[in-house]
A and B are shown apart, each in its own frame.
Chain A
Amino acid sequence: MSAIRETADQVATLGEKYKYGFVTDIEMEVTPKGLNEDVVRLISGKKNEPEWMLEWRLGAFRRWKEMTEPEWARVHYPKIDYQNASYYAAPKANPKLESLDEVDPKLLETYAKLGIPLHEQKLLAGVAVDAVFDSVSVATTFKKKLGEAGVIFCPISEAIREHPELVKKYLGSVVPVSDNFFATLNSAVFSDGSFVYVPKGVRCPMELSTYFRINASETGQFERTLIIAEEGAYVSYLEGCTAPMRDENQLHAAVVELVALDNAEIKYSTVQNWYPGNEEGVGGIFNFVTKRGDCRGRDSKISWTQVETGSAITWKYPSCILRGDNSVGEFYSIAIANNYQQADTGTKMIHLGKNTRSRIISKGISAGHAQNTYRGLVSVHLRADNARNHTQCDSLLIGKHCGAHTVPYIESRNPSARIEHEATTSKIAEDQLFYCTSRGINQEEAVALIVNGFCKEVLQQLPMEFAVEAQKLVGISLEGSVG
């Protein structure tokens, strides 16, 4: 009867609308399929890593072999055969790049197509980019300008060689090697990712951004990011992700660690648009990611903002450990699942220090046959006097075949804690759509407008340059979900 009910079955051909589904034809160096100690050694060797790093990886690999894949999330997928994928893929001709002129023009073309020009003069003013193509970083821009401020922004493979004391001190200090199945796998085989170090008292002079691109088929991407903000430092970091359209599922298992010392602030934003699979649920990226920030110092702050529109499976819980007294953790999330996408995402706020505060705003949007789960933990420990949390968890349903689920865990061992949880579930009402169309706005635009309104509090958290893009992405992800 209503526009929604009438057309709920005619759900989007999102696959056809995925703009980033092309493949770059470039000569690649890919390791044989399979995972064993030799592969771990090979990856470490490719990166010219020191012995201690290899030992760290091998230790992780031995642990991983003893672990089992977790099954508690509300996601269903065929068993992953870890021996049937390659763990390292890099464009040939790559090795060490002194300037962008040495980057393969095909790669530059790829990033231009993705809307990420790597030539500094063409870049968004004030944004430095590290571009990671499959297993390697192909370019990092604005290094010199950042260097003048004392900020280190480079591929993590480079940091391991050039800043071993920092990497040794912090790598695995937030997400321990044996943290969970996917993080341990990452620790063994991670290939590249970004490393950021902001020294004491420095406010990073520009937005930092990493752009992850999966190109090779039958490979996994395992990037590792480590960001350290020393006392009183500030940095804002954004990552974007895309992948070609393929019928196979590809594994992406990243680990991100953030460390904020006294009075430091880290703002970490993600726009995740991995290939979500086609309208029948074939293909797409399996995205199993461990992200955690440690507010190690007093009065420190870590803020996660994520716009999750891609991937066939999303398993991701960016978390904050509020260790320092008066530290603040924030989590702002938009998760859109259309067609047969499954998202199980949320956060953990672990209050250890006194007067720690956390804020969670989660906006889940489900359309088509998608399942969208918010899973969160707010935990207040014994010593965390006067801890405060506010959680707001809103779900929006489009059509009648999708699902929204909310699984909040709250634990408090301190009687002075104040924890608030608000949750709503709503549908895009037919009368809202009618109101918009009666004013001349077409169905698709009306859905985008309503959903963007629904997500507003989260979109506002994104850096300006990306907020506009994210708004468009919200509209594109839901194209065809109504009408």
Chain B
Amino acid sequence: MSMLEIKDLHVSVGGKEILNGLNLSVGAGEVHAIMGPNGSGKSTLSYALAGRAGYEVTGGSIVYKGEDLTALPTDARAAKGIFLAMQYPVEIPGVTTINFLKTALNAQRRARGESDLDAVSVLRLVRGKAGTLKVPEEMLKRALNVGFSGGEKKRLEILQMALFEPSLAILDETDSGLDIDALKLVADGVNALRAPDRAMLVITHYQRLLNYIVPDRVHVLSAGRIIKEGGKELAHELEAKGYEQIIKDAA
């Protein structure tokens, strides 16, 4: 069974249609890459999957584990196991990272009918995941993302993914703003989370990231729909030819 089945998806932002008839199917245990030029609708797809306000689904369906998501609020989707690692993680002054993690984890647990974890248990859990991602204890005590470097922000996103153990993880431009060492670290973190019961959608502009997170399938997004699909070699073809040529070929 597919983890995620998107059919003929239309999404408008501010009255302007950004996605028009997007189809995508991702199976459990698979890693799919979505590649596309600026303005093709990559971020819109990630926000529509997360249910961000203002990203209006005007047609089609998003079915996750057999359930249509389109009417579900964002926090309910998170509790059901959908996680979006953001391109630009936001700062929340005055809220420590560990407090944020605890609040989020317990909110998800509560929504699933599980009991809250106390501060000590959460800290133990987080520590267990933080080491390999090189997230030091000191970072957990700082206000969420405030004054974090680009690399720290992205590592924290992956730490959250490890903590929440989602069934569907969407990584939106996770490589942006990272130097090669930081990129490797993040990619290792993501690869460690590949699992038979987990699907991943890796959204990226550049092929570079896919050298480290090797996808099972690659989809090319252009003007709001998927115009070409292939195996991991498609990413290399894109890198060699450029988007313009591939889009022309597909037309």
CB distance from A405 to the nearest CB of B (A): 22
Q: Given the complex of chains A and B, what is the CA–CA distance between A2 and B13 in angstroms?
A: 10
With contact pairs A1-B14, A430-B53 given, residues A437 and B75 touching in the complex (Cβ less than 8 Å): yes
- Are A441 and B75 also in contact (CB < 8 A) when A430-B53, A453-B95 are? yes
Query: What are 16 A-B contacts defined by CB distance under 8 Å?
Result: A431-B90, A432-B90, A434-B74, A437-B78, A438-B52, A438-B78, A439-B78, A439-B160, A440-B164, A441-B103, A443-B75, A449-B100, A452-B94, A454-B93, A454-B94, A457-B94
For residue A3, which residues in chain B have a CB less than 8 angstroms away from its CB?
A: 53-54
Is A9 an interface residue when CB atoms closer than 8 A count as contact? no
Of A445, A454, A456, A457, the residue contacting B103 (CB under 8 A) is A445
A449 contacts B103, CB within 8 Å? yes
B interface residue count range (under 10 / 10 to 19 / 20 to 34 / 35 or more): 20 to 34
Q: Does B6 contact A (CB under 8 A)?
A: no
Contact with B along A1-31 (1 / 0, CB 8 A): 1110010000000000000000000000000
Which stretch in B32-40, B104-112, B127-135, B209-217 binds the other chain?
B104-112
- Measured between beta carbons, the chain A residues less than 8 angstroms from B104 are 436, 439-441
Given A1-B54, A438-B50, A445-B103: 16 more A-B contacts, CB < 8 Å: A2-B54, A431-B90, A437-B73, A437-B78, A438-B74, A439-B108, A440-B104, A441-B75, A441-B104, A442-B73, A449-B92, A449-B103, A450-B95, A452-B95, A453-B92, A456-B95
Question: A442 and B75: CB pair below 8 A?
Answer: yes
A449-B107 Cα distance, complex, nearest whole Å = 12
Asked whether A453 lies within 8 Å of B103 as measured between CB atoms, the reply is: no
Residues of A within 8 A of B88 (CB): 431
B89 contacts chain A at the CB level, 8 A cutoff: yes
Taking CB atoms and an 8 Å cut-off, the chain B residues in 77-93 that contact chain A are 77-79, 83-84, 86, 88-93
Determine whether A435 belongs to the interface, using a CB cutoff of 8 Å to chain B.
yes
Q: How far is the CA of A432 from the CA of B145 in the complex (A)?
A: 11
Give the residues from 48 to 102 in chain B that come closer than 8 angstroms, CB to CB, to chain A: 50, 52-54, 73-75, 77-79, 83-84, 86, 88-95, 100
Chain B hits for A434, CB < 8 A? 50, 52-53, 74
A455 part of interface (Cβ distance < 8 Å): yes
Task: Decide: A440 and B75 in contact? CB cutoff 8 A.
Answer: yes
The distance from the CB of B190 to the nearest CB of chain A, in whole angstroms, is 18
Chain B 216-250 interface mask (CB, 8 Å, partner A; 1/0): 00000000000000000000000000000000000
Assess the A456–B94 pair: CB atoms within 8 A. yes
**B24 interface residue (CB < 8 Å to A):** no
Q: Given A437-B78, A438-B78, A440-B75, do A450 and B111 touch, yes or no (CB 8 Å)?
A: no
Give the shortest distance, in Å, between A435 (CB) and chain B (any CB). 4
**B94: which of A437, A441, A453 is its contact (CB, 8 Å)?**
A453
CA of A431 to CA of B86 in the docked complex: distance in angstroms? 11
Identify which of residues 427-481 in chain A touch chain B, using a CB-to-CB cut-off of 8 Å. 429-432, 434-443, 445, 449-450, 452-457
**B143 part of interface (Cβ distance < 8 Å):** yes
Q: Are A435 and B90 in contact (CB under 8 A)?
A: yes
**Size of chain A's interface in residues, with CB distance under 8 A?**
27
Shortest distance between the CB of A234 and any CB in chain B (Å): 29
Q: Output the least CB separation between B203 and chain A (Å).
A: 15
The docked-state distance in angstroms from the alpha carbon of A102 to that of B90 is: 57
Q: Nearest-CB distance from B194 to chain A (Å)?
A: 21
CB distance from B233 to the nearest CB of A (A): 33
Residue from A436, A452, A456 having most chain B Cβ neighbours under 10 A: A436
Chain A residue nearest in CB terms to B163: A439
Q: Tell whether, in the assembled complex, residue A432 and residue B94 are in contact, meaning their CB atoms are under 8 Å apart.
A: no
In whole angstroms, what is the CA distance A431 to B73 when docked? 15
Residue of B nearest to A441 (CB): B107
**Would B78 and A455 count as touching, CB distance under 8 A?**
no
Q: Write out the residue numbers on chain B whose beta carbons fall within 8 Å of the beta carbon of A437.
A: 73-75, 78
Closest to B108 in A: A440
The distance in angstroms between the C-alpha atoms of A457 and B88, with both chains bound, is 26
B107 engages A442 (CB within 8 Å): yes
CB neighbours of B105 from chain A (8 A) = 440
**Chain A min CB distance to B161 (Å):** 11
Nearest 6 A/B pairs, CB to CB: A453-B94, A440-B78, A453-B95, A440-B108, A456-B94, A439-B104
- Residues in chain B near residue A439, CB distance under 8 A: 78, 100, 104, 107-108, 160, 164
Tell me the smallest distance from the CB of A467 to a CB of chain B, in Å.
Answer: 14
By a CB distance below 8 angstroms, the chain B residues around A440 are 75, 78-79, 104-105, 107-108, 111, 164
- Cβ contacts A33-75/B at 8 Å (1 or 0 each): 0000000000000000000000000000000000000000000
Chain A residues within an 8 Å CB radius of B93: 453-454
Q: Within 8 Å CB of A456, what residues of B?
A: 94-95
Q: Nearest chain A CB to B45's CB is how many angstroms away?
A: 14
- Which residues from A are CB-within-8-Å of B89? 435
Residues in B whose Cβ lies below 8 Å from that of A429: 90
A456 CA to B143 CA, complexed, in Å: 11
Contacts of B107 in A (CB 8 A): 439-442, 445
A269 vs B91: C-alpha distance when bound (angstroms): 30
Closest to A429 in B: B90
Distance in angstroms between the alpha carbons of A452 and B78 in the assembled complex: 23
Q: Which residue of A lies closest to B81 (CB)?
A: A440
Residue numbers in A under 8 Å from B90 (CB-CB): 429, 431-432, 435
The smallest beta-carbon distance between B107 and chain A, in angstroms, is: 4
**What distance in Å separates the Cβ of A195 from its nearest Cβ neighbour in chain B?**
37
Which residues does chain B contribute within 8 Å of A443, judged by CB atoms? 75
**Which residues of the other chain, A, contact B75 by a CB distance below 8 angstroms?**
437-438, 440-443
Considering only CB atoms, which chain A residue lies closest to B85 in the complex? A438
A332 to B108, CA, bound (A): 34
- List residues of chain A with CB within 8 A of the CB of B100: 439, 449
Shortest distance from the beta carbon of A483 to any chain B beta carbon, whole Å? 9
- A208-B111 Cα distance, complex, nearest whole Å: 40
Within the assembled complex, what's the spacing in Å between the Cα atoms of A372 and B79? Answer: 37
Q: How far is the CA of A1 from the CA of B14 in the complex (A)?
A: 7
Q: Which residue of A lies closest to B105 (CB)?
A: A440
* B91: min CB distance to chain A, Å: 8
Q: How far apart sit A434 and B75, CA to CA, in the bound complex (Å)?
A: 9
